[in-house]
A and B are shown apart, each in its own frame.
Chain A
């Protein structure tokens, strides 16, 4: 005979089992568990390493960390805005309606980009006002180069956002957490709060393939030396063309895959 405690334990185990079944079927969920602690540890490890030897250098330029944070938010909000617009359609189980209408996939991409731009302006605009109120740091003190940084970071965000949306279309809402975390894989090697030279050599060669590394080097050029680094700007722009092309290609390939597998009707359920 089973007592109440045993029965309760069995019910608890049943629920645990239900989640283990889910976990076993989704590598995305397993990766997500390890992702945040790893990223935070790596990012702040490098920041600590840099500040240990260069704290006076940072102190010379008030607001450099706040400006870096705000630029980072442009990238993050740009990517998140695009990915979430797509995920909203999955939540609504609306993809079938959309793609049975005359809407073309590239038109959906264009719409998501527009929505992302609006979301980014709202999100970062609020943060920029707060930064001025709390720390007397205005990101607009960057002047015209801010436009160049803003455009490049948005383009990177959209490229990564398209890649994430492609994965969500491929793996369903199990991959949703990637929308919140994907961009952070670039954080430690983008040189947001420290120069790329702080990174180990092998990591530097990877970092220079990211448009964000060039943007944040450019930001430091403006804030520290008062110089706009045109070579960094053009390199970032060229890499962004590559990121957007890869993102768009993956999104379209994933769309075609979803049509083959019948996921446009079933996804989101």
Chain B
């Protein structure tokens, strides 16, 4: 853990969520969750389909309005100061796309301007090099393979060198080789910049490799938290995959939830 994480206290949390609820008519997608993500950490949001991960990430981005609860990111309540926070964060998601008829370079230029990136050419050149997207930089986004699109989405997400990066299944459509390189890039970015990562993933080895902490979700609630090693030990399992299956199927851990990220329910 970094110094920032050890100090504790609200000022050291990149993300603080208190009593977050999202109700869609009769369906309650998120049921009063509370958690805090320390600055500079990488935290995974795990859960089966419909657990409420994507709804939670969408609320953090302000794309979805909560029914109740508060979200504070980098010290700002996003209900009131969303536009102060958004330039300092970014995201990728398989549920949104980039304009298909624009080339990769055009897309990156557009979003660089939206995020107010200085020295756009230099920043894009850096990302082209880091993510190895030079071969298709001038091809329309719509003609790219799923793996290439994912890399471009990650390049878009890193354009503004975000302090908070939300990643929804960041390597879902990548082959093992490219997936491994993307994970390495994201970890490298985190260590260089001190950024906070919150990722929803179904890839358990990825979570074990990248994340300091895990928030386990089921049916809109956080049912357990801890570091991957801590959870594996408490559930008496060998891998996060097995822990995930236990949680998804309703098994309880032997011991109380861990301390980081801090559950507040």
Contact A96 B116 (CB under 8 A): no
Q: Of the 9-residue stretches A49-57, A100-108, A120-128, A142-150, which lies at the interface with chain B?
A: A100-108
Contact B91 A93 (CB under 8 A): no
B52-68 vs A: 1/0 string, CB under 8 Å?
00110010011111000
Check: B13 CB closer than 8 A to any chain A CB. no
Closest-CB distance, A212 to chain B (whole angstroms): 33
- Would A92 and B98 be within 8 Å (CB), given that A101-B115, A102-B87, A102-B116 are in contact? yes
Q: Please provide the chain B residues from 91 to 139 with a CB less than 8 Å away from any CB of chain A in the complex.
A: 91, 93, 95-100, 111, 114-116
Contact B64 A265 (CB under 8 A): yes
Contact A97 B86 (CB under 8 A): no
Check: B156 CB closer than 8 A to any chain A CB. yes
Contact A97 B64 (CB under 8 A): no
- Would A260 and B65 be within 8 Å (CB), given that A102-B87, A103-B114 are in contact? yes
- Would A102 and B63 be within 8 Å (CB), given that A262-B24, A265-B93 are in contact? no
A95 to B96, CA, bound (A): 8
Q: Give the number of chain B interface residues (Cβ < 8 Å).
A: 26
A100 to B86, CA, bound (A): 7
Closest-CB distance, B93 to chain A (whole angstroms): 7
Contact B58 A265 (CB under 8 A): yes
Check: A136 CB closer than 8 A to any chain B CB. no
Residues of A within 8 A of B116 (CB): 102
Contact A262 B83 (CB under 8 A): no
Contact A88 B86 (CB under 8 A): no
A17 to B208, CA, bound (A): 48
Number of A-B contacts (CB under 8 A): 69
Contact A96 B115 (CB under 8 A): no
Q: Which of B55, B63, B111, B116 has the most CB of A within 10 A?
A: B63
Residues of A within 8 A of B90 (CB): 100
- Would A262 and B58 be within 8 Å (CB), given that A92-B97, A94-B98 are in contact? yes
A96 to B61, CA, bound (A): 9
A224-264 vs B: 1/0 string, CB under 8 Å?
00000000000000000000000000000000100111101
- Would A101 and B111 be within 8 Å (CB), given that A262-B58, A265-B93 are in contact? yes
Closest-CB distance, A85 to chain B (whole angstroms): 11
Residues of A within 8 A of B114 (CB): 98, 101-103
Q: Which one of A89, A93, A100, A260 contacts B61 once the chains associate, using CB atoms below 8 Å?
A: A100
Q: Which of A95, A99, A265 has the most CB of B within 10 A?
A: A265
Residues of B within 8 A of A266 (CB): 95
Closest-CB distance, A234 to chain B (whole angstroms): 37
Residues of B within 8 A of A261 (CB): 24
Residues of B within 8 A of A89 (CB): 99
A12 to B234, CA, bound (A): 57
Contact A94 B96 (CB under 8 A): yes
Contact B96 A93 (CB under 8 A): yes
A99 to B111, CA, bound (A): 11
Contact B87 A96 (CB under 8 A): no
Residues of A within 8 A of B100 (CB): 92
Q: Which of A89, A92, A259 has the most CB of B within 10 A?
A: A92
Residues of B within 8 A of A264 (CB): 58, 63-64
Closest-CB distance, A115 to chain B (whole angstroms): 13
A98 to B61, CA, bound (A): 11
A260 to B28, CA, bound (A): 13
Contact A100 B62 (CB under 8 A): yes
Residues of A within 8 A of B87 (CB): 102
A261 to B90, CA, bound (A): 22
Contact A88 B99 (CB under 8 A): yes
A93 to B98, CA, bound (A): 7
Contact A94 B99 (CB under 8 A): yes
Which chain B residue has the least Cβ–Cβ distance from A89?
B99
Residues of A within 8 A of B156 (CB): 97
Contact A96 B65 (CB under 8 A): no
Contact A265 B86 (CB under 8 A): no
- Would A265 and B91 be within 8 Å (CB), given that A98-B114, A101-B114 are in contact? no
A178 to B65, CA, bound (A): 28
A264 to B97, CA, bound (A): 12
Q: Which one of B64, B93, B96, B99 contacts A262 once the chains associate, using CB atoms below 8 Å?
A: B64
Closest-CB distance, B57 to chain A (whole angstroms): 9
Contact A99 B63 (CB under 8 A): yes
Q: Which 7 A-B pairs have the closest CB atoms?
A: A96-B96, A93-B97, A101-B114, A92-B99, A100-B61, A102-B86, A259-B65
The interface of chain A, by Cβ under 8 A from chain B, is: 88-89, 92-104, 256, 259-262, 264-266, 269
16 further contact pairs, Cβ within 8 A, besides A96-B63, A99-B62, A260-B65: A93-B97, A95-B96, A97-B96, A98-B114, A100-B63, A101-B114, A102-B83, A102-B87, A102-B115, A259-B62, A259-B63, A260-B64, A265-B54, A265-B58, A265-B95, A266-B95
Cross-chain pairs A/B with CB under 8 angstroms, 12 sampled: A92-B98, A94-B99, A96-B95, A96-B96, A99-B62, A100-B91, A101-B115, A102-B86, A259-B64, A264-B63, A264-B64, A269-B95
